[in-house]
């Protein structure tokens, strides 16, 4: 399974960006998809996740500003980021867990990362 992320870039504080991630491969179902981020010198942290049942979890620092959405049929997930702050600057990674083929459960998968830079 491969995850292809896109949509990062440079934006001014207060602006918006939308990230997009598509999973490809012999996929029957993906239990959870989401986004994590890692800033220089910091640990990777949760941004947001969404289950196949629609339950969402957001990191405290992005609640009320970011919105995660998922297309179950197309195995895609997006992240709408509004009111961006300089501290949102990081590499954002798409993640998929509970990936199921017709015959087995696969290990979780990570995308290649996309850079988001917010200028002050």
For residue 53, the model assigns a pLDDT of 94
Both tokens of residue 64?
């009320």
Query: Which residue in this structure is represented by tokens 């602006």?
Result: 15
CB atoms within 10 A of CB 74: 9
For residue 1, the model assigns a pLDDT of 87
Q: Chunked in runs of 10, what are the mean pLDDT values of the chain (120 residues)?
A: 94 98 93 97 97 96 98 96 98 96 90 96
Residues 114, 7 contacting (CB under 8 angstroms): yes
SS3 content of the chain, % helix, strand, coil (to 5): 5, 60, 35
Residues 111, 3 contacting (CB under 8 angstroms): yes
For residue 88, the model assigns a pLDDT of 98
Query: Which residue in this structure is represented by tokens 């997006």?
Result: 78
d(CA 119, CA 108): 33
């Amino acid at each position: 399974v491969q995850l292809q992320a896109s949509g990062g870039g440079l934006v001014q504080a207060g602006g918006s960006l939308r990230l997009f991630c598509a999973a490809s491969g012999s996929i029957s179902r993906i239990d959870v998809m989401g986004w994590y981020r890692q800033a220089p010198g910091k640990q990777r942290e949760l941004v947001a996740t969404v289950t196949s049942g629609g339950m969402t979890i957001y990191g405290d620092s992005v609640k009320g500003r970011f919105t995660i959405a998922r297309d179950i049929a197309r195995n895609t997930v997006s992240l709408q980021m509004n009111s961006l702050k300089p501290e949102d600057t990081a590499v954002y990674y798409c993640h998929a867990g509970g990936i199921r083929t017709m015959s087995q459960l696969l290990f979780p998968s990570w995308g290649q990362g996309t850079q988001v830079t917010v200028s002050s």
